[in-house]
Amino acid sequence: MSTDQNKFQAIISHCKEYGFVFPSSEIYDGLSAVYDYGQYGAELKKNIKDYWWKSMTQLHENIVGLDAAIFMHPTIWKASGHVDNFSDPMIDNKDSNKRYRVDHLLEAFAETLPEAEGNALLAKMDELLKENDFAGLKTLIEDNKIKCSVSGTCNWTEVRQFNLMFSTQLGSVTDEANEIYLRPETAQGIFVNFLNVQKTGRMKVPFGIAQIGKAFRNEIVARQFIFRMREFEQMEMQFFVRPGTQQEWYEKWKEERMQWHLSLGTDPARYRFKDHAKLAHYADAAVDIEFEFPFGFKELEGIHSRTDFDLKQHQEYSRKKIQYFDTEINQNYVPYVIETSIGLDRMFLQVICNAYEEQDLSTPEKADSRVVLKLPAKLAPIKLAVFPLTKKDGLPEAAQLLIKECKQYFHCYYEEKDSIGKRYRRQDAIGTPFCVTIDHQTKEDGTVTIRHRDSMEQERVPLTEVRNIVMNKIM
C-alpha cells in the first residue's frame, strides 16, 4: 500500500473517531456507499453549503435560489434522457436466470483472491467500465471462470446496461404508471421551474438558478468512502444565456468556479481542469475541475455547456412553451444553459483531505506529535474553544461569560477537563482555529492567551478583543 493510501485510510478513521462521518446503519454492519455525518461533520457540511450558497446567490445579483422536491413527474426523466441513457452494465446467468451487476460480481470474486491479484482485477475492471467495453467485461468474467452462486455455472449472457436511477412507487397502487424515480441530479428541478422563477422573479437573461439538494444513484463503482455515494448532495447552478453566447459564459464560469475553490486557500497546484473526452448526451462542451485526492487527481466539480437540450426536451414532452422574450433583441428563444455542478460530499472530502496533517513535533527531549485539521476558519465546525486553566477561582465563570458573548456570532466550545495541552490537541483534531485560555492573570488585567491552530503560536490579548479577532478570520 502506498503512503497516500495509508493517509486516506487514516483520514477515514479520523473522520469516524472525531464525529465527522460514520458508516450508515453501522450497528447493522453498514449499508454500502451510504454514510451519515456526525456532530462535527454536519457542521462542516453546513458551512460548505452556506459558503457555496452565499457565493452564488448573495454575491450575484442575477442568481436566485430554488428548493425543488426530490420526487418529480416520471416523464421528466424520459425527457432528460436519463431513462434511456443513465445506465451501467449488468449480466445474467443463463442457468439460474440470476442477474448480477458486473462490478458486484467481479468485486466479490476479487475478494477471494490474494490482495495484489484482486487489486489488479479491479483495476482492469475499472478500465473496461470507463471505456464501456462490455465485450471486454464479459471476457474478464469468463477468463476468471467466475461462477454464478446459484447455478454454479459460467453460462453468462452478454453484458447489458443497468439504469442507475432508483425507483419507487407513488401512492398505494403498485402498477407501472405509479413508478417514480429518486432524482439522480438536482438540475432537472431547475429546468422544469425555469419559467416559474423567470416570471415571478422578473429575471432577465443572463441569469442563474442555484439549488442544493439530495441526489441518488445506484452507483456501479462505489468504493472510495464519500467520494462516490449512492445517496449524496449536489450544489448545482444553471445559468441561462442567450443562444450564441454560451462559449463566452462557459469560459467565465470555468474561471469563476476555479477562483471559488482557490478562495479557500488550497494550493493551486492541487487543482487542474480536465476536458471531457466523451460528452454527456446533453452537452456541447464539458470540463471537470479535478483535485488531487490521496488516490490521485479526480473529478470534484463539473462545468457543462448543456445547450438548449433540457428546456427543449421539456417543451416537447410537456407540450408547454418554454421560451424567453428578450426585449433587447426583440426575440423569443429557448435559452442555452451553462451548468456548474459540484457534489457537496465530494467537496467535504476535498476539504478534509486538504486539511489533514500528521505532524511530528518531537524535540530532543521529548517525543510529540499531533494530527491537525487545517480547515479554512470560515468552514471549521467550531471557531473558538474556551478553556479555564483550572476549575476554580472563578475561571470557569469567566470562560462561560466569554462564550455567552460570542455564541451569538459563531460556534464556541467549552472544555475544562484535562491539561491545556490535551485540550489543544483535541481541538486541533477537529480543526478549531482558535483556543482561548482564561487564567488568573485574566482576573487581574483582563487579558487572555489566544492560541492559533496552525502556527501553535500563543499571544496575550485583551479579553474584549477575542470576538473581533475570530470574526475577522471567519467573515
Binding site for ligand GAP (CB under 6 A): 185, 187, 217, 219, 228-229, 232, 234, 236, 299-302, 339, 341-343, 345-346
Q: How far is the CB of 264 from ligand GAP (least distance, A)?
A: 16
> Grid coordinates 493517509 are at which residue?
7
Amino acid letter, residue 321: K
Q: Is 296 left (phi over 0), alpha (psi -120 to 50) or beta?
A: left
Task: Rank residues 212 and 430 by Cβ distance to ligand GAP and give the closer one.
Answer: 212
DSSP, collapsed to helix, strand or coil, labels residue 144 as coil
Q: How far is the CB of 58 from ligand GAP (least distance, A)?
A: 22
Task: Rank residues 232 and 424 by Cβ distance to ligand GAP and give the closer one.
Answer: 232
Q: How far is the CB of 364 from ligand GAP (least distance, A)?
A: 46
Task: Rank residues 291 and 413 by Cβ distance to ligand GAP and give the closer one.
Answer: 291
Q: Measured in Å, how far apart are the chain's first and last C-alpha atoms?
A: 41
Taking CB atoms, the residue at the shortest distance from ligand GAP is 343
Task: Rank residues 55 and 341 by Cβ distance to ligand GAP and give the closer one.
Answer: 341
Range 212-242 burial, b when 16+ CB lie within 10 A, else e: bbebbbbbbbbebbbbbbbbbbbbbbbbbbb
The grid cell for 295 is 488516490
Range 359-397 burial, b when 16+ CB lie within 10 A, else e: eeeeeeeeeeeebbbbbbbbbbbbbbbbbbbeeeeebbe
Task: Rank residues 298 and 374 by Cβ distance to ligand GAP and give the closer one.
Answer: 298
Taking the CA atoms of residue 126, residue 130, residue 132 and residue 137 in that order, the dihedral angle to the nearest 10 degrees is -10
Q: How far is the CB of 181 from ligand GAP (least distance, A)?
A: 14
- Count of positions (residues) in the chain: 475
Q: How far is the CB of 162 from ligand GAP (least distance, A)?
A: 15
Task: Rank residues 43 and 301 by Cβ distance to ligand GAP and give the closer one.
Answer: 301
Alpha-carbon distance of 163 to 208, in angstroms, equals 30
Q: How far is the CB of 294 from ligand GAP (least distance, A)?
A: 17
Q: How far is the CB of 190 from ligand GAP (least distance, A)?
A: 9
Amino acid letter, residue 56: M
Task: Rank residues 233 and 428 by Cβ distance to ligand GAP and give the closer one.
Answer: 233
Task: Rank residues 73 and 223 by Cβ distance to ligand GAP and give the closer one.
Answer: 223
> Grid coordinates 500528521 are at which residue?
358
Q: Calculate the CA 421 to chain-centre distance.
A: 33
Q: How far is the CB of 396 from ligand GAP (least distance, A)?
A: 43
The Cα angle at residue 455 between residues 452 and 456, in degrees rounded to 5: 60
34, containing H or E segment: none
